[in-house]
Chains A and B, each alone.
Chain A
Amino acid sequence: MEYKLTYSKYKEALMSGKFCGLKCNKCGGYTVPPKKVCMECSSEDMDVVELSARGEIKTYTVIRVPPEGFDAPYIVSMVELDEGPWVMGNIVDLDPDKASMELIGKRVSIGHKAVKGDKFSAGDGVALAFKLEG
C-alpha cells in the first residue's frame, strides 16, 4: 500500500497552515508525525486528518551550542498534543533566556517555521513552532 502521509505531503500541508497527522480506523489512535502504520495497533488503515494544533509542554531545553547552520540560542521543546502523541518543535515567542521549569505544563498552539536545508538534508524542511497560549 502506498505511503499515506509522506514527509513531502506533511510539509506541504504544514506550510499552508494545516498540521496533519494520521487517525487509525481500527483503534482510533493518532500517529503524529506520520508513520507507515498506526503507532498503537500497527494497522495500515489510517486517514490523514487535520489536528487541533494544540498541546501541552512536557519538557524543553535551550540550545546554546548549535549544529552548523543554526543560530543559537533557541528553545527546543516536546509537546504532548491534545490527540495524544508527543512532537518536537521550537518555542518561538519567548526569549530563550527567560525559559525555565515554569514552562512545563503550559499550553501552546502549534504553527510552523520554514527551515533552510543544508548539503546533508535533501532539501529544505519545516519545524513545528510552538506559541504560548494566553
Chain B
Amino acid sequence: MREVAVVGVGMTQFGMSEKTQIEMFSEAAMDAITESNIEPRDIQALFLGNGLGDFEEGQMNLAPMCAADIGMPNVPATRFEGACASATVAMRNACLWVASGFYDIVLTGGTEKAMAMGTPMATRTFAMGSDSRYEGFAGITFPGAFGMAAHLYSKKYGIPLQKLKEQMAMVAVKNHKNGVLNPKAQFRKEITVEKVLSGVVIADPLQLLDCCPFSDGAAALVFASVDKAKELTKKPIYIAGVGQGSAGPLYTQKDFTRIRARESAVKQSYMQAGVGPKDIDLCELHDCFTIAEILATEGLGFFEFGKGSQAVEEGKTSLNGEIPINPSGGLKAKGHPIGATGAAQAYEIVKQLREECGERQVKGAKIGMIDTLGGDLATVCNMIFRR
C-alpha cells in the first residue's frame, strides 16, 4: 500500500444555506482543487458522502451530478452512505483506492442540506438510522438513543445524573467557545452551563444545547499519492491511519457506554499509524450530543472508561488542555450537515496541521485525528493525519 496525502481542502460556511447540495459541494470542491494546483480534469474519481439527499431535495444518485457540475462528468462518481459518518466512510475509501495504486488523484468530501426538512421530518429521517423494524416503531430518535446512553453512563459509573449533566453542559460550553473562533461555524456565540441546564428537554436527560443543530454545508478534499502530492504542494498532510468498524442495531450492543464500532475502528487507525492516544495532539470527534463527546474521548483512549466527564470538567479537552477536542467548535457549534461532517472534521485537522487556524490554532500540532459516528452507534470511522 502506498502512502496518501491531502493536497487541498475546501469548506462552505455551515448553517442555513440557500444553495443546493450540488452547489455547496461544488464551491467546497473547487476551493480544494484550486488549492491543489490542479484542474478538475486531473481528478480520476469522486468519493462523495451524503446521508439524506433523497429526502432533502428529492435527489438520488447525487455523485455524478456533483462531478458534472465541476467539469468532470465522466469519472467514476459514487455516493457513500453511513448515516452521519458518510463523509468519513467516503474518505476512507478514497484513501484506500489511492493507497492501492489504482488512482493517483481523487476528490472526496460530502454535502448535506438537512435544514430543508424542518424538525419533524428531519427527526423522522435521522431515525431511519435505527433498526426500522425492531426499534423504529418504538419512536426512538437520535437524541433518545444518546439520552439512554447518558442514563446508562450515570448508573454504571455511579455519577449522580445532575453532576453528569453539569459535566455534559461543559462540553457544549467548550465547543461554543471554540466555535466563536471559527468563521465558518454555524453558532459563534458563547453559552454558559446555566443556559444549557435551563434549555428545553429534547430527550431526557438531553436539553436543547446538549444537541448539535441541523445544518446545511459541504466540505471537500483532494487526496493524492505521496509522489504526486510532493509535486503539487509544499504542505502535504499525510494520512497515517484509517479505520472503520460496525455494530448491529442498538439492542445488540447491550451496554452502549462502550461503542464497539469505535473500539474496532480506532484499533485499526492506531495500528496503521504506529501511534497511540498519547501521540495525538488534537482531535475532531463526533459530539452530536454532549454525552457523545464524552464517550468518544474514552473510546479513542484519551481517558479511561468512566473518566471522560471528569476530564471535561478539569479542562483537559479545552483548546489549551492536554488533548484539545473539537477546536473547530465541533458538531455542536460548527454545525452538523451529516453527509459533510467527516470531511469538515478533516478540513479542520488539515488546516491545524498546516498552522492556518489563527486564534484557534493548537500550537505545534503534528498529529491530528478525526472520528465520526453514524447511525445508532453502528458505524464509526476514524482517520489519523500527520504533517
Contact B124 A63 (CB under 8 A): no
- Residue with the highest number of chain B CB atoms closer than 10 Å, among A33, A60, A63, A128: A63
> Chain B at the A interface: mostly helix, strand, loop or mixed?
helix
Q: A61-B204, A64-B203 are in contact. Are A104 and B151 (CB under 8 A)?
A: yes
User: Are A63 and B139 in contact, with the CB atoms below 8 A?
Assistant: yes
Tell me how far the C-beta of A70 lies from the nearest C-beta in chain B, rounded to whole angstroms.
4
- CB-CB < 8 A to B60: which residues of A? none
Of the candidates A68, A88, A127, the one having the most CB atoms from chain B within 10 angstroms of its own CB is A88
A66 and B140 CA atoms in complex are apart in Å by 8
Question: Which residues 196-242 of B sit at the A interface, judged by CB distance below 8 A?
Answer: 200-206
B237-260 CB contacts (< 8 Å) to partner A: 249-252, 254-255
Contact status A65-B251, CB under 8 Å: no
> Would you call B68 an interface residue if the criterion is a C-beta within 8 Å of the partner chain's C-beta atoms?
no
Instruction: Flag the segment in B34-42, B126-134, B298-306 that touches A.
Output: B126-134
Residue ID in chain A nearest B161 by CB atoms: A101
| Complex Cα gap A69–B121 (Å) | 9
Interchain nearest-CB distance for B160 vs A (Å): 9
Name A45-73 residues within 8 Å CB distance of B. 58-70
On chain B, the residues within 8 Å of A74 by CB distance are 139
Residue of B nearest to A90 (CB): B138
Interface check B123, CB cutoff 8 A: yes
Q: How many A-B residue pairs have CB under 8 A?
A: 115
Grouping DSSP codes into helix (H, G, I), strand (E, B) and loop, the A interface class, with mixed when no group exceeds half, is strand
Q: Which residues of B are found within 8 Å of A88, using beta-carbon distances?
A: 134-135, 138, 140, 250-251
| Alpha-carbon distance A104/B133, docked complex (angstroms) | 25
- Does B203 lie within 8 Å of A67, measured CB to CB? no
Cα–Cα, bound, A61→B124 (Å): 17
> Which residue of A is nearest B201, CB measured?
A64
Contact of A99 among B124, B132, B204, B250 (CB under 8 A): B204
Size class of A's contact patch? 35 or more
Q: Is B310 an interface residue (CB 8 A)?
A: no
Closest to B206 in A: A61
Contact assessment for A60 and B120 in the assembled complex, using a CB-CB cutoff below 8 Å: no
Q: Which of A68, A85, A86, A104 contacts B124 (CB 8 A)?
A: A68
Contact B120 A67 (CB under 8 A): yes
Q: How far is the CA of A127 from the CA of B132 in the complex (A)?
A: 11
Pick out which of these stretches binds chain A: B23-31, B72-80, B142-150, B357-365. B142-150
Q: Is the CB of B121 within 8 A of A68?
A: yes
B307: Cβ under 8 A from any A Cβ: no
Q: Is B141 touching A65 in the complex (CB atoms < 8 A)?
A: yes
Asked whether A33 lies within 8 Å of B155 as measured between CB atoms, the reply is no
Chain A nearest CB, measured from B212 CB (Å): 14
Can you list 17 A-B pairs, Cβ within 8 angstroms, ordered by A? Answer: A33-B249, A59-B148, A59-B151, A60-B151, A61-B143, A62-B203, A65-B143, A65-B202, A67-B127, A67-B139, A77-B148, A99-B204, A101-B155, A104-B151, A104-B155, A121-B132, A128-B138
Closest 5 CB pairs of A and B: A61-B147, A125-B137, A67-B124, A33-B134, A68-B120
A61-B143, A65-B143, A127-B137 known; 7 other A-B pairs, CB under 8 Å?
A58-B152, A58-B254, A63-B141, A64-B202, A69-B124, A76-B140, A115-B137
A→B interface (CB under 8 Å): 7, 33, 39, 58-70, 74, 76-78, 80, 85-90, 99, 101, 104, 115, 118, 120-121, 125-128
Name B's A-contacting residues (CB within 8 A). Answer: 119-121, 123-124, 127-128, 131-141, 143-145, 147-149, 151-152, 154-155, 161, 200-206, 249-252, 254-255
